Amino acid sequence: MTSRAEPTDSQSVPQAEFALRVNGEEHSLRTDCRVTLLDALRDKLGLTGTKKGCDQGTCGACTVHVDDKRVLSCLTLAAQCDGREVTTVEGLADGETPHPLQAAFLKHDGYQCGYCTPGQIMSALGLLSEGRAGSPDEIREYMSGNICRCGAYQNIVAAIQEVAGDHE
């Protein structure tokens, strides 16, 4: 006879119930309270633009905005975002018209393999709104948390400069 072990109260994982407003759309979720914002976006809401890179907060591939501030979604619990506005790369375009930063990345070939591009774009949008795109060195400094393994850094800087109005 085989028995199935049922979790005891000490073994069960606490659930969190909360509302996420993602790209202007309200979502009610009930998940394990340890679920990261990254996993909630990808696995629960099907928004796969945000990428899982290192899952340790060092590569920047998972960068999204929460209340207009850039955050690493792999280090942010989804439940912490209850009632807050989350913006992902999918929320930047205006219908079929790409956001100017998305268009500039395409124009300047700032994406090569494309894996890090969503995080790069979200981080770049953050530094632009923070007013930190004054020079190429400043852009490099404030984008240093985003790693591009293909080495498209010069093209990424050029795209950001164009949108900032500093591109020659």
**CATH numeric code, 15-91:** 3.10.20.30
Report the predicted TM-score, pTM, of the whole model to 2 decimal places.
0.89
**CA 126 to CA 130: how far, in whole Å?**
6
- The separation between CA 135 and the C-alpha centre of its own chain, rounded to angstroms, equals 24
Domain layout of the chain by residue ranges: 15-91, 100-164
Predicted confidence pLDDT, tens digits, the chain (168 residues): 443 434 545 568 899 999 999 999 999 999 999 999 999 999 999 999 999 999 999 999 999 999 999 999 999 999 999 999 999 999 999 999 999 999 999 999 999 899 999 999 999 999 999 999 989 999 999 999 999 999 999 999 999 999 998 444
CATH class of 100-164: mainly alpha
CA torsion sign for 73, 79, 84, 85 is positive
